[in-house]
Copies of this chain bind each other. A is one copy, B any other.
Amino acid sequence: MVDTVGLVREHVGAARAKGRSIALVPTMGALHAGHLSLIEAARSRDAYTVVSIFVNPTQFGPNEDLAAYPNTLEADIDACRRAGVELVFAPSVAEMYPAFDQTRVHPGLLADTMCGVSRPGHFVGVCTVVAKLLNIVQPDFAVFGQKDAQQALIIRRMVADLFMPVEIVVAPIVREADGLAMSSRNAYLAPQERAQAKCLHRALKAGAAALSAGTMDESTLRAVMRAEIAETLGESEADERIDYLVAVDAETLQSIARDTPQVLLAGAIRFGQARLIDNLLVDPPGRAG
């Protein structure tokens, strides 16, 4: 494990000098099977794989779970070693945000919806730290999870807009047996909350079924998804705990229309301390493949 920019560049430079391609998997630690699938996506291309572990303060709001975010650094380093990761970069906040740090990368309109509404400033923090990490490691490609669909889209947009010389790979969601998307925040769930939490994926699947049957109306799709949540949580709890449920154009996050090529069904729901997100990408009928 290294914790300075200088050491990362030394190791990466040595790997590049040996002709290796370089992969970056940015994480906030608390690694689970979802992260391991991102690492596997990098390893499967025979890249020198760098995993960053950094709980980035600028992407947490003042009332969010920064202080409580799970810290399992030693277990994470072990898991990386077993997964064949060649370099773990776990910097301090002072290393990533040196004195007088001022610059912020703003993603624009894509951040004005979904998670960006309830987490103002979140995606500015995400873009800023990802820009820093990409410039520090200078990988050939970086792997992000589709679990954070809006984040993956915003990062792809940032890399395209700023002409960053890196390929962004988005790896599919890894789920528990009952469909719950893997997340470090699942660790917050009490047993009853854990049992309820699978309703989010079920709701998205119900929306996908309606969409595949020809429903291209956003409010109908929302109602279908909400009904599944209400079945588990009850009507008033559903309204209280649903942060958002959307059916939007997967590239623009804007309203769907008859000719939308791909639809993103996505939701965020609070279960106790945890705010869980999940999503499905669906090709409308007649447009698959």
Q: How many identical chains are in the complex?
A: 2
Q: Could you tell me if B104 and A106 are in contact, using CB atoms closer than 8 angstroms?
A: yes
Asked if A233 lies at the interface with its beta carbon under 8 angstroms from chain B, I say no
Q: Could you tell me if B103 and A163 are in contact, using CB atoms closer than 8 angstroms?
A: no
Asked if A160 lies at the interface with its beta carbon under 8 angstroms from chain B, I say yes
Which chain A residues in 143-185 approach chain B with CB under 8 Å? 157-158, 160-165
Chain A window 224-237, contacts with chain B (Cβ cutoff 8 Å), 1 for yes, 0 for no: 00000000000000
Which chain A residues in 223-256 approach chain B with CB under 8 Å? 252
Q: Could you tell me if B98 and A102 are in contact, using CB atoms closer than 8 angstroms?
A: no
A165 to B157, CA, bound (A): 21
With an 8 Å Cβ cutoff, the count of chain A residues facing the other chain is 29
* Given A131-B162, A132-B162, A163-B135, CB of A103 within 8 Å of CB of B105: yes
From B100, B138, B157, give the contact of A102 (CB < 8 A): B157
A26 to B158, CA, bound (A): 21
Chain A window 83-100, contacts with chain B (Cβ cutoff 8 Å), 1 for yes, 0 for no: 000000000000000101
Asked if A101 lies at the interface with its beta carbon under 8 angstroms from chain B, I say yes
Q: How far is the CB of A103 from chain B (nearest CB, A)?
A: 4
What residues of B have a CB within 8 angstroms of the CB of A33 in the complex? none
From B5, B103, B158, B161, give the contact of A161 (CB < 8 A): B103
What residues of B have a CB within 8 angstroms of the CB of A117 in the complex? none
Asked if A7 lies at the interface with its beta carbon under 8 angstroms from chain B, I say no
Asked if A109 lies at the interface with its beta carbon under 8 angstroms from chain B, I say yes
Q: How far is the CB of A52 from chain B (nearest CB, A)?
A: 12
What residues of B have a CB within 8 angstroms of the CB of A107 in the complex? 102-103
From B98, B103, B109, give the contact of A158 (CB < 8 A): B103
Chain A window 127-141, contacts with chain B (Cβ cutoff 8 Å), 1 for yes, 0 for no: 110011001101000
Asked if A61 lies at the interface with its beta carbon under 8 angstroms from chain B, I say no
Q: Could you tell me if A160 and B98 are in contact, using CB atoms closer than 8 angstroms?
A: yes
* Given A103-B127, A103-B157, A252-B100, CB of A136 within 8 Å of CB of B108: no
Q: Could you tell me if A5 and B108 are in contact, using CB atoms closer than 8 angstroms?
A: no
Q: How far is the CB of A137 from chain B (nearest CB, A)?
A: 9
Residue picked from A104, A158, A163, most chain B C-beta under 10 Å? A163
Q: Could you tell me if B5 and A103 are in contact, using CB atoms closer than 8 angstroms?
A: no
Contacts A102-B110, A103-B157 known; list 19 others, CB within 8 Å.
A5-B163, A98-B160, A102-B157, A102-B161, A103-B105, A103-B106, A103-B108, A103-B158, A103-B161, A103-B162, A105-B105, A105-B106, A105-B162, A131-B162, A132-B162, A132-B163, A135-B162, A135-B164, A135-B165
Q: Which A residues have a C-beta under 8 Å from some C-beta of B?
A: 5, 98, 100-110, 127-128, 131-132, 135-136, 138, 157-158, 160-165, 252
A-B contacts, 5 of them at CB < 8 A, read: A102-B157, A103-B107, A103-B158, A103-B162, A132-B161
